[in-house]
C-alpha cells in the first residue's frame, strides 16, 4: 500500500516541502532508509543523516534549519517524534480494521453479544454473557470468560486471558500472554502452620486508552475491583496485585511489581524492576527510579525516590557519593587516630 507525501501530511497536519506526489510504501530508520521509504528526524544528533539518507520522504521539526543539497521531500511538523508516532498508530489502525469476521475453529457462547466489525481469531473462546463491542479485535487463542465486557476498538493479542466478570474499556491494547483477573494472592495462616485460600470474588477494571504489555499479570480484587485508570501504560512482565489502583496516565516499566491494595496516583513514572509494598499510596507525579524498593507512602506530589529502601532522590545521590568515599574516609580516620594517640602519649 502506497501513500503520497501530501496524503501523509494531511494525516499528521504537516506541510510538504518538495514533491507532494512522492510516494512511500514502508517505514525505516533514517540511517537505513531506502528509496520508497519514509523516515523521521527528531534528534539533532542524527541530523547529518538527513543529507545522506536514501529515504524518499522525511518528517522533520518545522524549526529545523535545512542546509543546501537536500533531495528528499520533507513534511514539516511542530514535533516530528509525536507526528511519526501518530502516523504509525493510524497505519496500524488501518491494518487491523481490515480484520473482521469469526475464524474457525472457535467457541462463542450463544448468550454472548458480539458487536459490528469484530474480528475473532481461530481457537478463541468467548464465555457466557460476554460482550464484545464494535470494532474489537480478538486474536487467536484468546480466552474471554463469563460476563466479561470488551470495549470498542480494543485489541486482545494472541493468548490473552481475561477471567470472568472483568471489564475492559475502549481503545485498550493488551499484548500476548497477559492474564487479567487471575486470583489475588490471599491466604489466611492457620494455627497448624498451613494456609487457607481467601476467595477472590472481585474483578479487574481496565479503563479506556490503556496499553498493557506482554505477559503482564493483573490480579482480581478480593472484593471490589483492581483498577487500571484511563491512559495508563504498563510494560511487559508486570505484576499488579489485588485491589491495586493505577492512576491516569501512569507509566510502569518492565518487571515492576505492586503489592495488594496500594494506590498509585496520576502521571506517576515507575522504573523497571521497582518493587512497591502493599497498603501504601503513591502521590501524583511521583518518579520511582528503576530497582527501587518503596516501603512507605510517598505523600508529596512530584517527588522522586531511588534506592532500596527508596528515599528522596537528592539525599540518595548524596549518600551514594559519601559511600564511594568511604575507603578514603577510613584511611583519614586511621591517620587521625595515630595522631591523637601520639598526642596522648606525649602528654603522659
Q: Which residues are identified as catalytic?
A: 242
Instruction: Judge whether 180 and 174 are in contact, CB under 8 Å.
Output: yes
298 DSSP assignment: B
Strands 161-162 and 269-270: unpaired
Instruction: Judge whether 98 and 114 are in contact, CB under 8 Å.
Output: no
How far is 319 from 305, CA to CA, in rounded Å? 13
How far is 208 from 47, CA to CA, in rounded Å? 37
Instruction: Judge whether 122 and 106 are in contact, CB under 8 Å.
Output: yes
How far is 339 from 348, CA to CA, in rounded Å? 14
Residues written for the chain: 348
Q: How open is the CA angle 201-143-112, to the nearest 5 degrees?
A: 80
Q: Which of 229, 218, 306 is nearest to 265 (CA)?
A: 229
Helices (H), the chain: 5-12, 80-97, 313-324, 326-347
Instruction: Judge whether 41 and 30 are in contact, CB under 8 Å.
Output: yes
Phi, psi of 251 (to 5 degrees): -120, 130
How far is 8 from 131, CA to CA, in rounded Å? 36
Amino acid at each position: 500500500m502506497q501513500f503520497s507525501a501530501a496524503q501523509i501530511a494531511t494525516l499528521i497536519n504537516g506541510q510538504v516541502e518538495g514533491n507532494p506526489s512522492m510516494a512511500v510504501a514502508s517505514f525505516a530508520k533514517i540511517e537505513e532508509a531506502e528509496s520508497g521509504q519514509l523516515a523521521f528526524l527528531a534528534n539533532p544528533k542524527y541530523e547529518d543523516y538527513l543529507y545522506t539518507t536514501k529515504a524518499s520522504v522525511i518528517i522533520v521539526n518545522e524549526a529545523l534549519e535545512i542546509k543546501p543539497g537536500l533531495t528528499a521531500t520533507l513534511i514539516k511538523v511542530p514535533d516530528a517524534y509525536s507526528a511519526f508516532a501518530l502516523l504509525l498508530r493510524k497505519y496500524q489502525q488501518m491494518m487491523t480494521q481490515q480484520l473482521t469476521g469469526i475464524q474457525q475453529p472457535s467457541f462463542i457462547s450463544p448468550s454472548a453479544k458480539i458487536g459490528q466489525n469484530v474480528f475473532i481469531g481461530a481457537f478463541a473462546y468467548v464465555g457466557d454473557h460476554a460482550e464484545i463491542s464494535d470494532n474489537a479485535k480478538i486474536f487467536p487463542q484468546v480466552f474471554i470468560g463469563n460476563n466479561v465486557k470488551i470495549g470498542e476498538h480494543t485489541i486482545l493479542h494472541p493468548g490473552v486471558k481475561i477471567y470472568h466478570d472483568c471489564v475492559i474499556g475502549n481503545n485498550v491494547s493488551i499484548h500476548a500472554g497477559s492474564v487479567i483477573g487471575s486470583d489475588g494472592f490471599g491466604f489466611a495462616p492457620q494455627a497448624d502452620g498451613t494456609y487457607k485460600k481467601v476467595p477472590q470474588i472481585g474483578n479487574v477494571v481496565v479503563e479506556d486508552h490503556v496499553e498493557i504489555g506482554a505477559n503482564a499479570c493483573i490480579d482480581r480484587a478480593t472484593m471490589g475491583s483492581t483498577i487500571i485508570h484511563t491512559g495508563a501504560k504498563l510494560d511487559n512482565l508486570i505484576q499488579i496485585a489485588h485491589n491495586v489502583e493505577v492512576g491516569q496516565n501512569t507509566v510502569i516499566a518492565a518487571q515492576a511489581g505492586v503489592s495488594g491494595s496500594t494506590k498509585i496516583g496520576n502521571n506517576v513514572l515507575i522504573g523497571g524492576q521497582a518493587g512497591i509494598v502493599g497498603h501504601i499510596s503513591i502521590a501524583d507525579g511521583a518518579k520511582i527510579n528503576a530497582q527501587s524498593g518503596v516501603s512507605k507512602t510517598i505523600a508529596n506530589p512530584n517527588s522522586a525516590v531511588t534506592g532500596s529502601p527508596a528515599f528522596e532522590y537528592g539525599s540518595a545521590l548524596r549518600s551514594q557519593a559519601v559511600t564511594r568515599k568511604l575507603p578514603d574516609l577510613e584511611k583519614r580516620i586511621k591517620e587521625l587516630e595515630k595522631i591523637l594517640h601520639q598526642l596522648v602519649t606525649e602528654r603522659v
